[in-house]
């Protein structure tokens, strides 16, 4: 459920190995590990969809009245923030005669707004139809990784943070995007840098992540739609305070007052 994005496809600088606060190389397992990535998807789904069943969200679509038009899919692609347009474009490259192709002109026109012009009345129905197609699911996975997951993990590795830190970055990019506005991921990180240093720059990992989360909370409070900061306060901050920097199960957290757990 991001705000306006810029392309992150070129952000591929070779990342440094994660370091502990003492400058020692951390464990090789990071958020790209299949089990850790599954945890990350469940954590995001708990906040975005009030469910751990993230694979059930390929067909999800609604307007949640946050000024971003339709929000849909496993990561909250939005018709008003360019990423839904990029997703349907990718899907059409892979499946040229898909049911959503006819909406590409409308998606270009509503990009940057909350308008449904050219999408109603059948877009939501057609989205759900497309979600039965494995090619569409694969397209969602691809765009999730290209725009959100991979940039978050790469920046996390460059900053020397472990699995929890990489997830904290990922969740921030999912919500805020990585554009040029003051509440984007890059500017949340910039705000945190004024208070602390990441491990790769000689800082303490826990101190750095608390600074990042402080900056994230500030960004969330700038917009009414994101002003409930429980996905930080009663989830990510809980793991951080427990010293669970490798995001090791079992995990227990709350989002918007609802309790969740992952046992293994």
Dihedral sign from CA coordinates of 70, 76, 80, 82: negative
90 is annotated as an active-site residue: no
Backbone angles phi, psi at 90, to 5 degrees: -65, -45
> Of 48, 63, 143, 159, which one is the catalytic site residue?
48
> Of 33, 38, 66, 233, which one is the catalytic site residue?
66
48 is annotated as an active-site residue: yes
Q: 219 near 36, Cβ under 8 Å?
A: no
Residues catalogued as catalytic: 48, 66
């Amino acid at each position: 459920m991001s705000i306006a994005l810029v392309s992150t496809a070129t952000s591929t600088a070779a990342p440094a190995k994660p370091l502990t606060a003492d400058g020692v190389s951390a464990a090789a397992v990071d958020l790209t590990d299949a089990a850790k990535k599954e945890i990350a998807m469940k954590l995001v789904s708990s906040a975005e969809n009030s469910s751990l069943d993230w694979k059930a969200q390929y067909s999800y679509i609604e307007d949640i009245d946050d000024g971003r038009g339709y929000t849909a899919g496993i990561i909250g692609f939005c018709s008003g923030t360019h990423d839904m347009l990029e997703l349907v474009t990718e899907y059409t490259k892979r499946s040229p005669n898909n049911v959503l192709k006819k909406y590409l002109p409308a998606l270009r026109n509503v990009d940057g707004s909350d308008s449904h012009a050219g999408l109603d009345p059948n877009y939501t129905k057609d989205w759900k139809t497309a979600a039965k197609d494995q090619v569409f699911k694969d397209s969602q996975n691809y765009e999730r990784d290209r725009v959100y997951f991979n940039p978050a993990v790469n920046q996390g590795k460059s900053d020397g943070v472990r699995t929890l830190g990489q997830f904290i970055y990922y969740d921030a990019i999912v919500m805020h995007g990585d554009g040029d506005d003051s509440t984007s991921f890059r500017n949340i990180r910039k705000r945190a840098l004024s208070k602390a240093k990441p491990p790769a720059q000689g800082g303490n990992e826990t101190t750095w992540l608390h600074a990042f989360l402080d900056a994230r909370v500030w960004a969330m409070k700038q917009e009414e739609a994101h002003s409930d900061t429980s996905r930080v306060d009663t989830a990510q901050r809980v793991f951080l305070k427990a010293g669970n920097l490798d995001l090791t199960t079992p995990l227990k957290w709350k989002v918007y007052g609802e309790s969740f757990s992952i046992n293994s």
